């Protein structure tokens, strides 16, 4: 199991509010992050305040409706790009002279 530094989602959503959370902690790496610290999870204190079960949080469980729509849009865009890339592959067997 890999571990990664997490930052509380509350720090991203409410930087200007009084409820700003500046917590960071080491936790399991559920998304195989490569270059940045994840901020999709609430810290234990904020999760308790919001009535969220800390242990059941997933990368998509706390997303807003707008964020979920954007995620679906990006998934569809990636799927279309993969399909286009497959169509551009030229087979050396069928293109012989």
Q: Indicate the domain borders of the chain.
A: 1-59, 63-91
- The pLDDT tens digits of the residues spanning 58-75 come to 888 888 899 899 999 999
Among residues 74, 73, 51, 77, the alpha carbon closest in space to that of 62 is found at: 51
Half-sphere exposure of 97 (CA within 13 A, CB side): 0
8 A C-beta contact, residue 60 and residue 71: yes
H or E, element range at 24? strand 24-28
Per the confidence metrics, is the pTM higher than 0.75?
no
Q: What is the pLDDT of residues 4-47, one digit of tens each?
A: 888 888 876 555 556 678 888 888 888 888 777 788 888 999 88
Q: How many CB atoms lie within 10 A of CB 79?
A: 10
Distance of CA 17 to the CA centre of its chain: 23
- DSSP reduced 3-state for 52: coil
């Amino acid at each position: 199991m890999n571990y990664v530094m997490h930052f509380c989602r509350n720090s991203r959503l409410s930087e200007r509010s009084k409820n700003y959370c500046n917590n960071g902690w080491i936790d399991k790496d559920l998304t195989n992050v490569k270059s940045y610290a994840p901020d999709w999870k609430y810290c234990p204190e904020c999760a308790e305040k919001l009535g969220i079960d800390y242990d059941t949080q997933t990368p998509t469980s706390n997303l807003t409706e707008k964020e979920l729509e954007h995620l679906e849009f990006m998934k569809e865009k990636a799927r279309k790009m993969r399909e286009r890339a497959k169509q551009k592959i030229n087979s050396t067997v069928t293109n012989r002279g």
